Structure 1
Amino acid sequence: MKPPPRPSPLQSLVADPAQLSTSHLPSLQSLALQVHHNLQYQHSWSALRVHSHSPLTNELLPRPLISGLPTKRLYVHPDEQIELLKQADRRRKAEDKDGGGNNVLDIRTEPEREWLLPTRLGEEWTLHRLSDVFDTISLVPPSAEPEDSASDRPANPWRTTKRVVLATVSPDSTVVYYIVQDELVKPRQN
């Protein structure tokens, strides 16, 4: 007798009761799970969680949000970019003095946990609706590990404002990601 077929990753995700919230509309829950699946299997994000309640007040979020860790940093503050370039240039010059330099700037950044806001293409987002989301989230999403969740402060001192990645799902299931910040961003100097 053949063993039963293994469920697909999407079936496993949808069947996991820990991923479902009874507080939000099923359409919002399924949208969050669709984005969660896209991040995990198409973009290799890790430490993904679907949140139904605010980490600040424990009240119900306006809609389910996702937190996770991308494979590489999504956003680098313009002032941080300058500092990273200076550090890379100093390392390159030190390697050149030792005779082992390859004349390439090696810029090193660690990925940061991000908030994601699942949306549909036809939805209209106003500043007021975005503000309602920003009011309910912390600067950095809480970690899944209890020892890391004690601090809301990011390891990156340049991260001083809240941001979410707007995950917009089109009718053909394509997901497009946009970074939205809770303040104006200093323009880059040319």
Structure 2
Amino acid sequence: MTSLANSKPAIVPSPLQSFVSDPAPLTSTTHLPNEQSLARQILHNLQYQHYWTDLQVHTHSPVTNEPLPRPLVSGLSAQRLYVHPDEQVELLKKADSRKKAGESNTLDVKAQPEREWILPTRLNEKWTLRRLAAVFDAISMVPPAFEASAPEQETPANPWRTTKRVVLGTVDSDSTVVYYIVHDGIVKPRQN
């Protein structure tokens, strides 16, 4: 018989560790396990720290149906991440006309959120223009809607969104996550 006093307590993984290392939701065998867990870590951060919705991990290109260079995440942010400068001017003009018409007493400018691509990376990775170009070549302008979500509303696509973009989600060794918007090509700078 063994005594309970000499046995070591079982190490139970945290819910986040279980979520990140769970292989069931990702059925892709084309990506390394560390790339899959990184995508799930970014998805978890977006959902629980930044209140994104309609999140999913993509392992294959919506354009070519070939495997992506690495798993990407897509989702709907709580608020618009990027407003094109020309769109910003139009929104301000509309808000000003509403204010002058007495419909509002403030210049309330709010653009509707858009689905975004998120590229999960680690801080110690080396990204080249060639690697970024491979990601941009494999994605569509806007990520496809989540299959299980409600049908898309009949809203026209944003005419101001003329270039592909990804949100670079960079994770440091201490689990800090920083997000940057990366556009495919040259983009008109914003006016402050």
Instruction: Show the counterpart of 2:184.
Output: 182
Structure 1 unmatched ranges of 5 or more: 1-6
* Residue-by-residue CA offset, 1:113-161 (whole Å, 9 max, x unaligned): 000000000111111110000000000000014754xxxx962111111
Instruction: Show the counterpart of 1:129.
Output: 131
User: Given the two structures, how large is their TM-score scaled by the length of structure 2?
Assistant: 0.84
Displacement of 1:40 in angstroms is: 0.7
Q: Which of 90, 98, 109 is 1:83 aligned to?
A: 90
Displacement of 1:49 in angstroms is: 0.5
Instruction: Give RMSD over aligned pairs.
Output: 2.5
Instruction: Show the counterpart of 1:59.
Output: 66
Task: Give aligned pairs, total.
Answer: 178
Q: Distance in 2 between matches of 1:136 and 1:12?
A: 27
Q: Distance in 1 between matches of 2:134 and 2:142?
A: 17
State whether residues 20 and 38 of structure 2, in contact with CA within 8 Å, keep that contact through their aligned partners in structure 1: no
Q: Distance in 2 between matches of 1:164 and 1:11?
A: 27
Matches within 5 A, 1:64-143: 64-95=71-102, 101-102=104-105, 104-143=106-145
Paired-residue identity, %: 64
User: Given the two structures, how large is their TM-score scaled by the length of structure 1?
Assistant: 0.85
Displacement of 1:24 in angstroms is: 0.3
* Residue-by-residue CA offset, 1:45-89 (whole Å, 9 max, x unaligned): 111110010001100100000000000000000110011110110
Displacement of 1:18 in angstroms is: 2.2
Secondary structure at the aligned position of 2:75 is classed as strand
Runs of 4+ in 1 over 6 A off after TM superposition: none
| Structure having the higher Rg | 2
Structure 2 unmatched ranges of 5 or more: 1-13
1:22 aligns with 2:24: no
